[in-house]
Structures are given as C-alpha cells and as structure tokens.
Amino acid sequence: MALTPTSRLLRPAAGAPLQVLTWEGSDAELLELLHRQAPQAAAKLYDRFSRDVNRVVFHLTGPDSEHDDLVQDTFLRVFRNIGQVREASKLSSWVVSVAVNVVLSELKRRKLRRWLLAEKTKTDVTDDYGHDHEARQLLRSVFGVLDAMPANERTVFALRYLDERTMNDVAELTCVSLPTAKRSLAKAERRFEALGARICPGLIERFRAASPEAGR
C-alpha cells in the first residue's frame, strides 16, 4: 500500500474536515451508470469500492510495492467487464472476486518468475507502514511466511483469517466448492505453521501462549 510520508490531507479549517459530498446512489444505480458508460461512472465505482479493494489486496499481498498497480488493475478489469454483471446485488462480491483473481494471477506469476529466474520477492515494509517497530516486524514476519506458501493456499488463508471471510465466501471468491475450500484451508494452516516455525521461530507460539485454548 503506497503511503507517501510527504502526503498530507488538506483541511480548510482547524479541526474541521473537508465537506464530503459522497454519492449516495444504490448499487443498482451505479451499475446502470457503468453499463451506459456515464462520464462519472468510473469515479463513482472507485469511490464505492476503493476501501474493499484496497483492503483485500493488502490482506492478500501485504505491504507490497505493487499494491497500487494491483488496485488499478482490479478497477480496470471491473470497468471493462462490467457488462458481465446483471444483478446489482452481486456487484460488490463480484468486484472483490475480481480483486482476488488479479492478486492470485500476480502471485502465480511471481512464483513462476521466482522459479525461472531465481528471483527473490521481498516484503516491502518501509517507514510508510508506520513507525511502530513491532507492527512492522509483525507484518514482515507474517507476509514473509505467506510469501513462501503456494498462491492458492496463501489466498485461502488470507481470505479466511486476515480478511475474516466466511468459508462460503472463501469458496465463492476462489471459485471452488465448499469442501475443497475447507481442505485447502486445513492444508494452508498446517503449512503456515510449519513454515512459520522454520522461517520465523516463535511467531505463532507467541499467539498460542496468549490463547486461552493453549491451556486446554
């Protein structure tokens, strides 16, 4: 997620935020604007879903120098393929599924590149991610472990745990059946723990110790 330290939000008066005149139209109205390519449709699309898309992209990739590119790619694909969506009630989940697909393709592409070119990916945790050393260290550790996981397992794990999706959502977003999604998650959990113990010893134990389940 690109956070520029020099970026500042401008406020017109001390303590008073800029007056936000958000568009209050429904998803059905937005879909209608998108279908007829109304001039402001793209802006409204971004305004409606930027939070969701940014959040899911961050949870799937972590601090990543290409975060903005992935968000951009997601919105462009949504914009270009909006004709596929006929029911406004499905717009929101479809946008998130596009984001998941964009990230999944990127993760697979990186995996291949890593394998072919012996390229190393690095989790990009800079000062942009806050000055809390512990928080940065945690992000680096967790996404370092996730980087070592297969793309599909990583995605299922991130959607279930980091994005707090239900298993039904996870299955739908990754286009698999519910039992398959559950099996993938179980595999992903085992792999995360194993890789965590190897790459970042003590990471999971720290939270296990704090868990009330530990004493059972």
Partner 1 sequence: MSALERLSAEVRRAAPELSEAAQARQRARFVSATTRARSAGTAARWLAAALVVGLLIGGGFVGVRGWRTASTAAVEVPASSERWWSRVEQRTLERVSDRGELTLEPSSAAHLVHDGQRVDVVLERGEVASQVVPKRGTQWGVRAGAYLVQAVGTRFSVQYEPAQELLLVRVNEGSVQVSGGQLGVSSVRLQVGEALTVVGSRVSIERSAPSPGEPASANELAEQPRIEPDEPSPAPLGSDELSRPRGATVSPEANAPEPTWLELQASGEYARALEQAKRLGFEQLVGSLPCGELGELADAARLARDAVRAERALLQLRARCGASPSGLRAAFLLGRLSDEQSPGQAASWYEKYLAEAPGDRFTEQALGRLISAEQRAGHADRAKSAAVRYLHVYPSGGYAELARSLVQP
E strand or H helix at 84 = none
Structure token pair of residue 163:
């994005």
Nearer to partner 1, 23 or 122 (CB): 23
Q: Residue 72 CB, nearest distance to partner 1 (Å)?
A: 6
Nearer to partner 1, 22 or 115 (CB): 22
Query: What length does the chain have?
Result: 216
Tell me the residue type at 106: E
Task: Calculate the alpha carbon distances from 206 to 138, 139, 176 in Å.
Answer: 11, 15, 33
Nearer to partner 1, 115 or 207 (CB): 207
Q: Residue 182 CB, nearest distance to partner 1 (Å)?
A: 15
Nearer to partner 1, 115 or 127 (CB): 127
Coil/strand/helix, residue 161: helix
d(CA 129, CA 136): 7
Q: Residue 157 CB, nearest distance to partner 1 (Å)?
A: 8
User: What does the CA dihedral 124, 65, 160, 206 come to, rounded to 10 degrees?
Assistant: 10
Q: Residue 118 CB, nearest distance to partner 1 (Å)?
A: 29
Nearer to partner 1, 4 or 117 (CB): 4
Binding site for partner 1 (CB under 8 A): 1-4, 6-22, 37, 39-40, 42-43, 46-47, 50-51, 54, 58-59, 68, 71-72, 75-76, 79-80, 128-130, 132, 134-136, 138-139, 142, 161-162, 164, 189, 192, 203-204, 207-208, 210-214
119 CB-contact burial (10 Å; exposed 0-12 / middle 13-18 / buried 19+): exposed
| Displacement of CA 113 from its chain's centroid (Å) | 21
Nearer to partner 1, 7 or 86 (CB): 7
Q: Residue 177 CB, nearest distance to partner 1 (Å)?
A: 23
123: alpha, beta or left, given left = phi > 0 and alpha = psi -120 to 50? Answer: beta
Q: Residue 135 CB, nearest distance to partner 1 (Å)?
A: 4
